[in-house]
Amino acid sequence: MKPLICPTETKYTSLFINCGGPRTSFEGNDYEGDTTDRGPSYFSSPSDRWAFSSSGVYVGLQAASYIATNTFSLDVSGPDFYNTARLAPNSLKYYGLCLRGGSYRVRLHFAEIMFSNDSTYSSLGRRIFDVAIQGRVVLRDFNIMEEANGVGKVITKDFADVTVSSTLEIHLYWTGKGTNAIPDRGVYGPLISAITVTPNFKVDTGSGLPVGAVIGIVLASIVVVLLVFFALWKKGIFGGKNNQEELELRALDLQTGHFRLRQIKAATNNFDPANKIGEGGFGPVYKGVLADGAIIAVKQLSSKSKQGNREFVNEIGMISALQHPNLVKLYGCCIEGNQLLVIYEYMENNCLARALFGRDDQRLNIDWATRKRICSGIAKGLAYLHEESRLKIVHRDIKCTNVLLDKDLNAKISDFGLAKLDEEENTHISTRIAGTVGYMAPEYAMRGYLTDKADVYSFGVVLLEIVSGKSNTNYRPKEEFVYLLDWAYVLQEQGNLLELVDPRLGTNYSKKEAMRMINISLLCTNPSPTLRPSMSSVVSMLEGKLPVQAPIIKRTTSDDEMRFKSFEKLSHDSQTTQVSTYSQDSQGQSMNAPWSDSSVSVSVPGKDGNVTSSSRLLPDLL
């Protein structure tokens, strides 16, 4: 690992930290206190000897403590530091700074103090996490209670030969295993009581430096501190709330890379307008080429999006952990001065909407096999978000504009600007309805009832668009139909569903596969969310591993009236417009000219009768 900057010329040979507790002594050693409880995404360096960083948010908790205490008054044997501990929901790193190069013995102290030792529900919790030292995993699926043979029992883990050049890194991180709501919601993630680091080499106890040299070093250090303080003041670091947010952003422990501003400026030719490929909800998007030839997309968060910075701090760590072949990959971010940039993979063929519905010079000739692969890719990406990722996520804005295509026309889901964490025990009733007209599930658009089945509905609409090559919201076969989906219901009643297939395909498609995909679309867009399949089932259906029996949905006059009223309500009540990642003026003529489309975020009355404006729950990263 790359050593951190040492703030002093002094070289230390030991380190003692009481994680989550006050200063204390044990076996003749003074353990420094570690009582900062500042919440998620925080970096602290209490002294020049050590620092720690914490990232992540406890799912479902508005406010949570990141320091544990002996909740159940367990009889913990051993020193006092076992009665407290530091916690983190996702990632917790401790850094030993300015250590003299050599071999060290690292001892990690643990005691599970958040579960009970009786026969109640509170005793059923399981805390499981991994530990890495100097970037190498040393404990995998570590369970304190199991290793110590019970709660309130102490256990230490020794690592006898850890090589350190200057910085020691101890990384504890949650991998999604164990319980997360016993005895209360948010009880999971790494926990550690204390850290002991001692040298394996002989330490010279002499003063080492003459008095004059010590005085010179002290004076020089004071000058350096003053210069650093002046430089930070000039940059506005001590200027208020916005700058505090910037500090938090700088300290964020991302599971991605960090880029320097000069790298990004060089890659985008100093944000040359010629390299602009879109306008996202948070700011413009540029194409860039790094020094190694890698092509990237850079989202530059605009000043008007500063209100989203705190949400960005709290959630970007989780988004960066989403890794799937059918999700646009986040490479990292750049935070320098007033610049807040997000860097992710560049998609050569822009978005699916442009490929299917764009102008003649923008549309792509997508054959049947490729359309099937695109449908399968979108389904697999959603199945990952809903069922396979560590954090279950509802995207809320699945549409062709938010499906990007790489050079091989592989589909990747983007634009998590409206995404919401799926809290399984929540009723999902929300006053913040956000999405795109024509793609929102009826129970969500009309009642604010949100589950992952809302994404299933949107996927059904997209699937129908891919088969037909027509936009659900723009296609008007007859004036009495609001959407392409309405026309599909009529054709189903008439037994003519194959009329939906894109005529550009001619006869170069499988009628059997086309019927399967159309029936899956109708199944996914069932008005009843409970009758829609899960996305993992959809994947199996698309692959022919599960049978498909689409429902016969009879259209009635009242249904038509409700559709029109819903359409009019969403159109008139929309409060904000959020443009897709690659959206820009659709008049551009080059292949880089992005597709233009909008998502509408609707405000509805809350429980108090007031109108509640919609807001992003996860940053518009991708």
Is the backbone peptide bond immediately before 183 cis, with ω within 30 degrees of 0? yes
Write the single-letter amino acid at 108: L
Distance of CA 453 to the CA centre of its chain: 20
If phi > 0 it is left, if psi is from -120 to 50 it is alpha, else beta; for residue 208 that is left
Per the residue annotation, which of 130, 184, 367, 397 is the catalytic one? 397
CB 499, CB 351: distance < 8 Å = no
**Lookup: tokens for 523:** 């199944």
Those residues with Cβ within 8 angstroms of residue 373's Cβ, 6 or more apart along the chain or in another chain: 409, 410, 411
Backbone angles phi, psi at 324, to 5 degrees: -155, 145
Distance CA 580, CA 299 (A): 12
Distances (CA, A) of 316 to 41, 55, 324, 351, 544: 10, 10, 16, 23, 37
CB 502, CB 517: distance < 8 Å = no
Radius of gyration of the chain (CA): 28
Return the beta strands (E) in 251-301 as ranges: 257-258, 276-280, 283-289, 295-300
397 catalytic residue (yes or no): yes
Distance CA 238, CA 251 (A): 15
For CA atoms 491, 496, 501, 505, the dihedral sign is negative
**Contacts made by residues 545-548, CB under 8 angstroms, sequence distance 24+:** 548/516, 548/519, 548/520, 548/523
Distance CA 92, CA 481 (A): 55
Active site residues: 397
